[in-house]
Amino acid sequence: MLSCAGSSSLSWEHSCYLGCKKTSPLVGSWESTETIGKQPAKIQLSFAEDGTYTNVTTISQGKMVVTDRGHWSQPNENSLTTKVDDVDWKFSGNLQLVARAEVRFKQNKQKIIDSTNQHPTEKIAWSGSQSFTITSDDGSTRTYQRAP
């Protein structure tokens, strides 16, 4: 899909011949599963054409749900840069434990955001148009499939 855009400061994926705008293949919804702290986790990642994203990680069948919201860009075709603007953690289970976890989260929210934004650019490698793998600075990888 092509549409014209008037900005000359767009990154590679947004620019094409004569200032037209090409939608990045990242735009849309993606899913991944992994283990976080020995708990199963489902990750739902959505990239919008306007450069915003939402990442929802559900850990241990919903006992903890982490939602990151921010902005994304691709400085080149092999890199993905994200900046977390806000994060929210929701807990369920034992009410006393939930209350303590919520207090700790609120006390540390800005530290969590700052830590997440320390290494904003990751390598991205495509496996066709329906799957990609992100490699972090520490060498860890996560593969996403296009959501149905």
> Is 18 part of a structural domain of the chain?
no
- What does 67-99 look like in DSSP terms, one character per residue? EEEEEEE-SSTTEEEEEEEEEEEEE-SSHHHHH
> Is 15 part of a structural domain of the chain?
no
Which backbone phi and psi does 120 adopt, to 5 degrees? -75, -20
pLDDT tens-digit series, residues 61-85: 889 999 999 999 998 889 999 999 9
- The domain tally of the chain equals 1
Which range of residues forms the domain containing residue 50? 26-146
> Is 12 part of a structural domain of the chain?
no
Confidence of residue 127 (pLDDT cuts 50, 70, 90): very high
Task: Please tell me the distance from the alpha carbon of residue 128 to that of residue 11, in angstroms, as a whole number.
Answer: 22
pLDDT tens-digit series, residues 13-58: 444 434 556 788 999 999 999 998 898 999 999 999 999 999 999 9
Q: What is the CATH number of the domain that holds 84?
A: 2.40.128.280
**Helix H or strand E segment including 140:** none
Structure tokens given for 11:
């990154």
Contact 45, 32 (CB under 8 A): yes
Scanning 15-135, the segments in alpha helix (DSSP H) are 95-116
pLDDT value of position 21: 64
